[in-house]
Structure 1
Amino acid sequence: MSSRLVYPSILGLLGLLLVLSLPGHLEADWFDKFNASSEKPVLELYRKVVKYVDENYVDPQLIDPKLMVIEALNAVQRSVPEVLSFATDDGNEVALTVNGKRRTFPLGELKGVEETIPLLSEAYRFLLDEIGSELESREELEYTLIRGLLSTLDPHSVLLTPEFYKEMQINTTGKFGGLGIVISIRDGKLTIMSPIDGTPAQRAGLQARDVIVKIEDESTINMSLTDAVGKMRGDPGTRITITVLREGWTEPKPITLVREIINIKSIQSRLLSDGILYLGIKNFQKQTASDLIAAALKAQKDSKLPLQGYLLDLRNNPGGLLDQAVEVSDAFLEDGVVVTTISSKNKYREQERAKKDQTLSRLPMIVLINGGSASGSEIVAGALKNNDRAMVLGSHSFGKGTVQTIVNLEEDIGLKLTIAKYLTPGNRSIQSVGIVPDIFLIRGMLGEDRIDLFWNEEKVQEEDLKRHFEREIPMTEEEKPRYTVTYLSEDKGKDEAEFRSESLAEDLEKTDQEVRIAKELLLAALGPEIDRKRMLERIGSSIEGVRKREDERISAELKIRGIDWSFAALPPKGTHSIKIVVTAPDPIQAGSEVLLQFQVTNQGKETIYQFRAISTSEFYVFDDHEILFGRIEPGKTAAQRLKVKIPQNAPTLLEEMALRFEDQFGTSYPEERVQLKVKEIGQPHFAYHLEVTDERGNGDGLVQLGEPLEVHLCVRNDGRGEAPEVVAALVNKSGRGVFLNRGRLSLGAIPIGQERCGEFDLTTQEGLKDQHFEFDIKIVDSNLGEFIQGNHRIDMLPPRSLKKMQAVVELRKGEQPVSLYSGADSRSQVLGTLPAGKRLRTKAEDGEFYKVVLPEGGVAFVPRTEAQPIKNGETGAAVKYTYITSPTIRFTELDPYRIVATSNFLLKGEVEALEPVRDLYLYCGERKVHYERFGERTKATFQSEVPLEEGSNRITVFARNADKVTGSTSIFLYQHRPTPITKTEKPLASDNPLVPIVEIQKN
């Protein structure tokens, strides 16, 4: 078993890793002691994880055995509905409730992480005894306990289960056995985005936009991207046939390919004008450094002009192999420290230094970074910046300054554990701060309904992650940006770096503004001394030129919108006095597009320049809006409107929108808060009925191998609002045994109380392993997010010999209704019932069943014991079909706007279903606070005391029926209404009816 130091990416389990060998081995005295206690140790994998955590974790002070037990059991309760886990406030005891049975576990004596093993082993046995049959697998339960334990450490210490461990290995090696295509799901179809040069796919003539309709004998309809990738990858030298449909072809064509080792290129290079070499690194994998050096030397040889400088693009590069990050840095450095790692308990301190044999020419250099640059990218950018080799341009990088090891726990399971911290040259930590650029770029956007001119990092960064490490030393002035430039984006929807791969096929200087700005500044930095500080001095006038150009573009665009964005040469001498009025509809209806109006009066004696408001709110609709007023002269008033679209599925809530006011000179204005009420509208609720038919087969209603089948689906809206756009999908769960010809239905809008129907088309075929096949039905409204999902199993049954029979049968007399079957076998699906005594026309019979024609159309089968032929008579009666639906949940005794004055609230409600309600569980935020089982009742009440924090609290209730079809609903409870805000006497003039919300006057 080997251990390796790694710098993982920000992309979670699928991230790329930086790897370095780790000296030493792990003692295992206590570990062996626990293993010897039984023939087959309980939680064997958990014990291995505990061993490595105990001996190697970077910060032993963060190892809290009590918290580890609490969070391990919390992880179980989040994944298993029947489990509730509560810890006492002092953390000395945790109570575990499973299906109503309660056990308590004392935590007071836990002193080390190894002491969690016997306690959690006992809890594990308790869980298996009570709900073992309900669990997906015992292994998954153990994985969940481990995930909970590791969650107490830091965001990068995680368990790598088989799927992710395999993907990680592919990412770090940069190669795999496959075909050489980039694929995606487009309009529900498995689509080739691009073939990779020099691969089987490219040689076979596959093209971008080709649709893969089959992989071997399996239809790709509704196949997940992960499944498709897994089926096309394989051992080099093996053959695979994919069937492809291309625009202009009349039918799909099968193409057989031989898998090869596919090498993923991590380097993109392009010679720009004026002798600037662009080098983009997507990630750090094997051969990245040598590929980069080769690309640079080739460009130097091919260029008609002498190379003038390097533009190294690390935007959205999540990391990779450590040795490659070091070698890339070394390629541009003559000497100096690249990175320093410090291990747990300071066991060792290791420096990676640049070697003297520099490979590449010493030319001026700019490194491009953004919030997606992490791990290896930060090492390279930090090494080149802090050794004064290159200027850094862009936005703050991700900010992860820790080191991980990858341990192979079992054949296909790994542990990623933080075991060290790293420092960039000068012993500078980038933890939670990132690499700060020398030239800070702000990408400005002026859209029709949205303005972004001021810095707001939308990407998730290290400081946003739970339990992240904090930087121990504050940032120095020297580390802060030297220059800041806001540029007006020419693209309305894409991140500059996100379409880098597209840009390389075109003209980078035209399509990527950040590259264009970087090149302009790099040319301005040319001079005798290739030193970062000197280069930053030389580009000063060019920076001002870029600022002026971009400011003029922004001002010109805003002038068209009636905003004077001119600026003052000098700050004002006096103080400002402003009056602010905000109006909005009261309430705001969910699903509506509304205008919020803002009016600012300058009551001071000085002109205010570039005045703006920036909003923040816990409700994303009201969050992060920029409202620009511009120049306001003394005594004048400026007004602006903000258009917001409230989602149709927005719940009733009272929310605050905080407004922060700024001007050109950063004048401090008090923050103000505005209350906004949102009123929900009725939401749809789906129920569905399905029937598997074989009318194109032998017509016996039973499924046999090779038979073409149709799955009739009807979706009904039982809710309180229309479903505007409903889509249904049938997802095959039986692999090659079922071929889908049509697996997706667009049902359109479904009004309240109405239904829409359609048909899926499939065939059973060789490869079906069992005497049944399975599929999922997924129904969703793409606008509202309302959905229902059900799993179905259809048994294969022997064929029946039907004879034609044109007659009328009368169902038996009695009080109980008669069941209608989908096939001539009582083991087939029950479609619904008809009242006793009703009459139906027959099509055929086989001695045990009548095949009857239903009044609404379609056919069904009735046992001969349940009906008898009659000479004639009127037929027709409404079938009571069997519908599948999730329980509905309603809350009672709520304030109209969910306002609560106390820190605890007794939440009451009702749950109802067509079938017995199995159980109900309730979350307050991420914390499960209630579980209740109902037995055989189809309607029940519930109540639970929920703890509330000040402000908005999201409460989500889940309920399951007997078949575990789950329904859920959420509400927001607003605890402690803020001090009432004075309202204006009359609203501003507007096209919409507005009620004034606030008038604020500040002096």
Structure 2
Amino acid sequence: MRALSLSLSVAAVLGLAPACAHAQEAPQATEKSDAVAASDDPDAASTDDAKVPLDEIRRYVMVYNAVKQAYVDPVDDHALMQSAVRGLLLDLDPHSAYLQKADADDFNEQTRGAYDGVGLELQQLPEGGLRIVAPLDDGPAERAGLRSRDRIIAIDGKVLGPADADASAPLRGVAGSKVVLRVLREGTPKPFDVTLVRETIRTSSVRSRMLEPGFGYVRVGSFQAATAADFVKAVDGLQKSAGGPLRGLLIDLRSNPGGLLVGAVQIADELLDKGGIVSTKGRAMIGDSRFDATPGDRLQGAPVVLLVDAGSASAAEVLAGALHDNKRARVVGSRTFGKGSVQTLLPLDNGDSVKLTTARYYTPSGHSIQALGIVPDVVLKPEGGGARAMISEAALPRHLQGEEALEGDNAGDVLPGQKPVDAALAELKKMAGVVAVATAAPASARPKAKAQ
């Protein structure tokens, strides 16, 4: 495969410490350097996007001085500057954010696959509180029954308001300690409390088993540094237990929130013999890159089904789009989340970082997933019907626009449980040429022959 380092290019353009990984929410420890000094020439500021707009800076200083001199209570200089810097990113899109050093370290830990917490992928809400995008597999939150779309409105009795810069911080802590969440759930009349015990979340992002002789199942819960290698081990193990090549493989990406883009690209490369995987397009040509498959299909052409739902986001959508557009797999489930943007972690000289949306990604056919998601070939509905657990990028405030606007509700459904797996397996067996055998009706239920 072939690719430009988008993170490194963007860091160089912005004059920040270079980030070495081309990633979707994928930070890497890097060497730090001084930022490029801004020009003092007002004319240059008005003609060059890279220069500082001095009139706007003067206006900021006036507001800063007003707050310092006239606000009802004294305000710490550092706290005020931190608020101002966060404000630069506040109205961009839901995924760009200023991360203090501790938060950036936590972000790094999650992509490495080990951190102390409760196992939740979260979205901070502008009106206050946290929305659960997805609970991580076998974490304290999933075991306690928390679901995608649940809203956390208080932590340890403290109500989460709009002013909380990092409302998720109290969820982190020493393994073995307890934290109480107050949760609001659609269809439940009153908030309820859930007590979780923090633990070291070592997210083994890949699990596997045989569903039936010849048909394997691989669950990919998120994309971390070791996910692609773990996927290869899982597939090889399934083929060994099958005594030869698999007849078909079901890859379960439900409620997979994404993670490192490179993991999705590498898994796609393992299943493709040729063709594009994904491309990225940023504001300038320096942000453009492309990944292509290299020869070799680990499954030797055996059919593949991808199981997705509304919680499948980001890198999970890259994998689904790559295999679908290359006609290598069928997608079964519900419309995916629709996060088609690349985030780059740009370290600053004080240890903090800026998580900045730097590009959109495109499937091999040239379509953007942003705010649209992947539409499955076979659509499944939640078991039992009832109220939908709606969740989508298009529903987030300030989301980036996609290549086309969809009218009405385009959100998918969350599909928990075993029945979606059974439906996806039936589709996989159909692709493999296995004919379903109808069970014979009992004699009493058979229609009687007419007398002649």
Answer yes or no: same fold by TM over 0.5: yes
Task: Show CA shifts across 1:530-555 (max 9, x none).
Answer: xxxxxxxx99x99xx9xxxxxxxxxx
Q: CA deviation at 1:375?
A: 1.0
- d(CA) in 1 for partners of 2:251 and 2:174? 36
- d(CA) in 1 for partners of 2:171 and 2:52? 45
TM-score when normalising by structure 1: 0.32
- d(CA) in 2 for partners of 1:182 and 1:470? 32
Q: Are 2:173 and 1:230 aligned?
A: yes
- d(CA) in 2 for partners of 1:262 and 1:460? 25
Q: CA deviation at 1:514?
A: 0.1
Please list, as runs of the form range in 1=range in 2, the aligned pairs for 1:356-505 lying within 5 A after superposition.
356-445=295-384, 451-452=386-387, 458-473=389-404, 496-497=415-416
Q: Are 2:38 and 1:30 aligned?
A: yes
Please list, as runs of the form range in 1=range in 2, the aligned pairs for 1:340-739 lying within 5 A after superposition.
340-445=279-384, 451-452=386-387, 458-473=389-404, 496-497=415-416, 512-527=418-433
**Contact 1:160–1:413 (CA<8 Å) still a contact in 2?**
yes
- d(CA) in 1 for partners of 2:300 and 2:217? 14
Which of 206, 211, 234 lines up with 1:272 in the alignment?
211
Question: CA 1:154–1:262 in structure 2 vs 1: closer, same or farther (change >3 Å)?
Answer: closer
Q: CA deviation at 1:293?
A: 0.3
Q: CA deviation at 1:343?
A: 2.0
**Contact 1:316–1:373 (CA<8 Å) still a contact in 2?**
yes
- 1:126 paired residue number: 66
Consecutive unaligned residues of structure 1, counting only runs of 5 or more, are 9-16, 35-49, 56-110, 185-193, 198-207, 210-220, 234-241, 244-259, 487-494, 498-510, 528-537, 546-1003
Paired residue secondary structure (1:422):
strand
Amino acid at match of 1:314: L
- d(CA) in 1 for partners of 2:348 and 2:341? 21
Q: CA deviation at 1:416?
A: 1.2
Amino acid at match of 1:2: P
Task: Show CA shifts across 1:587-638 (max 9, x none).
Answer: xxxxxxxxxxxxxxxxxxxxxxxxxxxxxxxxxxxxxxxxxxxxxxxxxxxx
Q: CA deviation at 1:272?
A: 0.9
Consecutive unaligned residues of structure 2, counting only runs of 5 or more, are 1-16, 121-135, 145-155, 159-166, 179-198, 439-452
- d(CA) in 2 for partners of 1:410 and 1:460? 37
Question: CA 1:463–1:141 in structure 2 vs 1: closer, same or farther (change >3 Å)?
Answer: same
**Contact 1:19–1:323 (CA<8 Å) still a contact in 2?**
no
Q: CA deviation at 1:403?
A: 1.8
- d(CA) in 2 for partners of 1:419 and 1:26? 21
**Contact 1:154–1:469 (CA<8 Å) still a contact in 2?**
yes
**Contact 1:325–1:379 (CA<8 Å) still a contact in 2?**
yes
Question: CA 1:262–1:407 in structure 2 vs 1: closer, same or farther (change >3 Å)?
Answer: same
Q: CA deviation at 1:305?
A: 7.6
Amino acid at match of 2:423: I
Amino acid at match of 2:174: K
Task: Show CA shifts across 1:774-832 (max 9, x none).
Answer: xxxxxxxxxxxxxxxxxxxxxxxxxxxxxxxxxxxxxxxxxxxxxxxxxxxxxxxxxxx
- d(CA) in 1 for partners of 2:240 and 2:106? 37
- d(CA) in 2 for partners of 1:356 and 1:26? 42
- 1:636 paired residue number: none
Task: Show CA shifts across 1:108-130 (max 9, x none).
Answer: xxx97565323212211221222
- 1:303 paired residue number: 242
Q: CA deviation at 1:170?
A: 0.9
- d(CA) in 1 for partners of 2:67 and 2:210? 62
**Contact 1:496–1:512 (CA<8 Å) still a contact in 2?**
no
Amino acid at match of 1:28: V
Q: CA deviation at 1:4?
A: 5.1
Q: CA deviation at 1:361?
A: 3.3
The structure showing larger relative contact order (alpha-carbon pairs under 8 Å, at least 6 residues apart) is: 2
- d(CA) in 2 for partners of 1:301 and 1:2? 43
Question: CA 1:344–1:21 in structure 2 vs 1: closer, same or farther (change >3 Å)?
Answer: farther
- 1:3 paired residue number: 19
TM-score when normalising by structure 2: 0.67
Amino acid at match of 1:130: A
Paired residue secondary structure (1:443):
coil
- 1:139 paired residue number: 78
Question: CA 1:331–1:21 in structure 2 vs 1: closer, same or farther (change >3 Å)?
Answer: farther
Which of 255, 258, 263 lines up with 1:316 in the alignment?
255
**Contact 1:373–1:398 (CA<8 Å) still a contact in 2?**
yes
Question: CA 1:382–1:263 in structure 2 vs 1: closer, same or farther (change >3 Å)?
Answer: same
Question: CA 1:124–1:266 in structure 2 vs 1: closer, same or farther (change >3 Å)?
Answer: same
Paired residue secondary structure (2:250):
strand
Question: CA 1:158–1:445 in structure 2 vs 1: closer, same or farther (change >3 Å)?
Answer: same
- d(CA) in 2 for partners of 1:261 and 1:436? 35
For the pair shown, the structure with the greater C-alpha radius of gyration is 1
Paired residue secondary structure (2:312):
coil
Question: CA 1:169–1:114 in structure 2 vs 1: closer, same or farther (change >3 Å)?
Answer: farther
**Contact 1:293–1:360 (CA<8 Å) still a contact in 2?**
no
Question: CA 1:183–1:435 in structure 2 vs 1: closer, same or farther (change >3 Å)?
Answer: closer
More strand by share: 1
Paired residue secondary structure (1:231):
coil
Question: CA 1:468–1:262 in structure 2 vs 1: closer, same or farther (change >3 Å)?
Answer: closer
Paired residue secondary structure (1:428):
coil
- d(CA) in 1 for partners of 2:246 and 2:61? 65
Comparing 261-270 and 376-385, the one that deviates more: 261-270
Paired residue secondary structure (2:71):
helix
- d(CA) in 1 for partners of 2:384 and 2:278? 37
Number of residue equivalences: 355
Amino acid at match of 1:468: H
Question: CA 1:141–1:5 in structure 2 vs 1: closer, same or farther (change >3 Å)?
Answer: farther
Paired residue secondary structure (2:255):
coil
**Contact 2:114–2:200 (CA<8 Å) still a contact in 1?**
yes
Paired residue secondary structure (1:514):
helix
- d(CA) in 1 for partners of 2:171 and 2:305? 40
Question: CA 1:278–1:167 in structure 2 vs 1: closer, same or farther (change >3 Å)?
Answer: same
Paired residue secondary structure (2:234):
helix
Q: CA deviation at 1:133?
A: 4.2
Paired residue secondary structure (1:339):
strand
- 2:450 paired residue number: none
Task: Show CA shifts across 1:186-242 (max 9, x none).
Answer: xxxxxxxx9x99xxxxxxxxxx99xxxxxxxxxxx9899965842349xxxxxxxx9
Question: CA 1:355–1:152 in structure 2 vs 1: closer, same or farther (change >3 Å)?
Answer: same
Which of 284, 291, 298 lines up with 2:230 in the alignment?
291
Question: CA 1:125–1:368 in structure 2 vs 1: closer, same or farther (change >3 Å)?
Answer: same
- d(CA) in 1 for partners of 2:175 and 2:29? 33
Task: Show CA shifts across 1:34-70 (max 9, x none).
Answer: 9xxxxxxxxxxxxxxx9xx965xxxxxxxxxxxxxxx
Question: CA 1:114–1:440 in structure 2 vs 1: closer, same or farther (change >3 Å)?
Answer: farther
Q: Are 2:90 and 1:148 aligned?
A: no
User: Aligned-pair RMSD on alpha carbons?
Assistant: 4.2
Please list, as runs of the form range in 1=range in 2, the aligned pairs for 1:888-899 lying within 5 A after superposition.
none
Paired residue secondary structure (1:125):
helix
- d(CA) in 2 for partners of 1:375 and 1:287? 17
Question: CA 1:416–1:228 in structure 2 vs 1: closer, same or farther (change >3 Å)?
Answer: closer
